[in-house]
Structure 1
Amino acid sequence: MLRMSDDLIGRLEQQERDLVFTRFDNTDAWRLGSLLVAKATGKDLPVAIDIRRGTQQLFHAALPGSVADNDTWIDRKVRVVQRYGASSYLVGRRLAAKGQQLDAGMGVEPALYAAHGGAFPIRIKDVGVVGVVTVSGLPQADDHALVVEAVREFLSL
């Protein structure tokens, strides 16, 4: 019998297989970031939005109601994607399914890494992960869902 966490993990893995870019440059970061801002402001969401390619920050917006701590969460979530090559939510759900946490026992400093939803890999077909798009400010499943919704729409344009 499939457990609820197995079903969620399967859906998250499918999102990562489906949401693959053919290219990603600075203009794409601006367009994707602007799309996220429009979606978040349309719902009055108190989020910070961040897009990076490699280590370069290409887009950042702090919407009304977001706080400086959201930027710290963004950095921690981004490190998870960069280290594990998967969304921060997927990494967290995989660990939770095994009764584990991202901590010193796994060789990471918890103050620097957060396996909480909201950071999603920018994966280019036949290349791999080249960047990260992140939202922080909502419950983790909602942060993740907002990013996925925007990436899905962006890729369909």
Structure 2
Amino acid sequence: MSDDDLIKKIESDEQRLVFREFDEDTAWELGSLLVRLARESRLPVAIDIRRGQQQLFHAALPGATAENDSWIERKVRVVQRFDASSYLVGRRLAAKGQTLGAELGVDPALFAAHGGAFPVRVTGAGTIGVVTVSGLPQADDHALVVRALETLIS
């Protein structure tokens, strides 16, 4: 898949994977689904779901480390700052030959445009939170989140 095609696919996923409503129970259902999917494949990931600044769900599966939590924080900041998935931000930058840094007004020690953080959007409310997976190659982190969202929202 070309860079342009990948960017268009991610943009399309973000437009269609929107909740009608999202509350603590929805966060639990989404987080539990991500845990189940990750356990089925024995994936060493950490999973995080937030609404605004409130963490509603967090799990670390066997093999995940504190470093994954650090990556989660950095990926979440990208979604909050750019209102797009961390993977989309990273792919858009790469397509322009750019990286996330001071030229965009961010500290790369605090922000990571690597796949795995996806905006939680609600119809009529816009982006209200972030769901994040960390522990796999970035395309796989992103794909796991998309798979869970497709399952839950469809």
Question: TM-score higher than 0.5 here?
Answer: yes
Tell me the distance in 1 between the aligned counterparts of 2:74 and 2:148: 21
The runs of 5 or more residues in structure 2 that have no matched partner are none
1:65 aligned counterpart, secondary structure: coil
* Percent identity for Structure 1 against Structure 2: 68
Alignment match, 1:62: 60
Count the aligned residue pairs: 154
Residues 123-142 of structure 1 correspond to what in structure 2 (within 5 A)? 123-142=121-140
Could you report, residue by residue, the CA deviation over 1:61-93 in whole angstroms, capped at 9, with x for unpaired residues?
A: 000000100000000000000011100000000
Alignment match, 2:92: 94
Does 2:26 correspond to 1:28?
A: yes
Which letter maps to 1:126? G
Tell me the distance in 2 between the aligned counterparts of 1:82 and 1:123: 12
Does 2:39 correspond to 1:37?
A: no
Runs of 4+ in 1 over 6 A off after TM superposition: none
1:108 aligned counterpart, secondary structure: coil
Which letter maps to 1:143? D
- CA RMSD in angstroms comes to 0.8
Which letter maps to 1:96? A
Alignment match, 2:51: 53
Which letter maps to 1:52? R
1:126 is displaced (CA, Å) by 1.7
Could you report, residue by residue, the CA deviation over 1:39-72 in whole angstroms, capped at 9, with x for unpaired residues?
A: 0000000000000000000000000000100000
Alignment match, 1:4: 2
Could you report, residue by residue, the CA deviation over 1:14-57 in whole angstroms, capped at 9, with x for unpaired residues?
A: 00011011110001000100000000000000000000000000
**TM score, norm. by length of structure 1:** 0.97
Could you report, residue by residue, the CA deviation over 1:92-143 in whole angstroms, capped at 9, with x for unpaired residues?
A: 0000000001101111000000000000000111210000000000000000
The runs of 5 or more residues in structure 1 that have no matched partner are none
2:92 aligned counterpart, secondary structure: helix
**TM score, norm. by length of structure 2:** 0.99
1:152 is displaced (CA, Å) by 0.6
1:59 aligned counterpart, secondary structure: strand
Tell me the distance in 2 between the aligned counterparts of 1:127 and 1:107: 27
